[in-house]
Amino acid sequence: MLKKLGMMTTLLIPICIAVNVVGGYIVTLLKLPLYLDVIGTILAGALTGPIGGALVGLVTNLITGIGNPVLIPFAVVNIAVGIVAGLCARKGWFTTFKMTVVTSILIWAIVQVTAVPMTVILFGGTAGGGSSVITSFFLASGKGIWEAVFSQSIIVETVDKLLATFIVYFVIKRIPESTLIKFNLGSRYVEEAA
């Protein structure tokens, strides 16, 4: 499968995985109440399509899973983000600011659709992060488990995923055109600029 995608994608994937991890790392250095750990997944989707995006999502969680296996099942969320980003990119929805708004909403939506059931069914409502305090708060105030996890997810994911998508939008603008056109979906961004 990777062979068909070509060498540019093969070599982009490790970079994007590292971007996911380092994004999460810088966030902790700057003490930001965000994750920003799917920037690489979205970028891979945007430049190479759904398969590249999905692969980055999968391998990211396999690699972070080496140190914390609990993260491995959440690969599903990361893969879904990559697929949605890739499909949007195929339609050219990363090329303008307006369309990127649509893309960011779709990415946000797919995170809700995948992460919430995963958290509730597989882990009983918590994946162990600090945001579980919010879930607990909603539960204590009498809400049901689904409602509580969903509310928590909206609070912590919304700004995060919108921001991640727009970071990718700005990054693509700064990649040299000669490099950009070598990626499977790269010519979309060059035509737009021309």
Partner 1 sequence: MKALEVRNVSYRYPIGKSTVLEDISLTVDRGDFVAVIGRNGSGKTTLCNILRGFIPGFHKGKFQGEVFVEGRNIDEMSMGEIAIKIGFVFQNPFIQVSGVKKTVFNEVAYGLENLGIERDEIIPRVTSILEELKISELADKHPIDLSGGQRQRIALASVLVMDPDILIIDEPTSQLDPQGTEKVFEIIRLLKEKNKTIILVEHKMDLISEYANRVILLDDKRIIFDDKTENVLTNEAVPNHGVNLPQIAKVGLAYEKRTGKKLKRIPTTIDNAVSVFKELLQEEASDGRN
Partner 2 sequence: MNRKGVLSGLYPMTKLTVVFFVCLSAFIAGDFRFGYFVVFPCLLILALLEGQFVPYAKKLVSAIVIMFLFIFLIKACLVPSETVLWRWGILKIYEQGLADALSLTSIILVAGGTILLFFETTDIEDFMISLQKVGISHIGSYVFLSTLQMIPDFIKKSKTIMQAQRARGIETEGNLLVRLKAFLPTLTPLIISSIADIEDKVITMEARAFSVEVKKTHLKEINMASRDKIVIGLAILGFVLFLIWRFIL
Binding site for partner 1 (CB under 8 A): 7, 14, 177-178, 181-182, 190
Which of these ranges, 19-27, 80-88, 91-99, 109-117, lies near partner 2 under the rule CB under 8 A? Answer: 19-27
Written as one string, the DSSP assignment of the chain is -HHHH-HHHHHHHHHHHHHHHHHHHHHHHTT-S-----HHHHHHHHHH-HHHHHHHHHHHHHHHHHH-GGGGGGHHHHHHHHHHHHHHHHTTTTSSHHHHHHHHHHHHHHHHHHHHHIIIIIHTT--SSTTHHHHHHHHHTT--HHHHHHHHHHHHHHHHHHHHHHHHHHHHHHS-HHHHTTSTTTHHHHHHH-
Q: Does 28 bind partner 2 (CB under 8 A)?
A: no
Q: Which of 41, 54, 57, 68 binds partner 2 (CB under 8 A)?
A: 68
Nearer of residues 147 and 177 to partner 1, judged by Cβ: 177
Nearest to 52 by CA among 165, 184, 190: 184
131-160 binders of partner 2 (CB under 8 A): 132, 135-136, 139-140, 145
18 or 99: CB nearest partner 2? 18
190 binding partner (options partner 2, partner 1, none; Cβ < 5 to 8 Å by kind):
partner 1
> 50 or 109: whose CB is closer to partner 2?
50
Contact footprint for partner 2 (CB under 8 A): 1-3, 7-8, 10-15, 17-19, 21-23, 25-27, 29-33, 36, 39, 43, 55, 59, 62-63, 65-70, 72, 123-129, 132, 135-136, 139-140, 145, 167, 170-171, 174-176, 179, 182
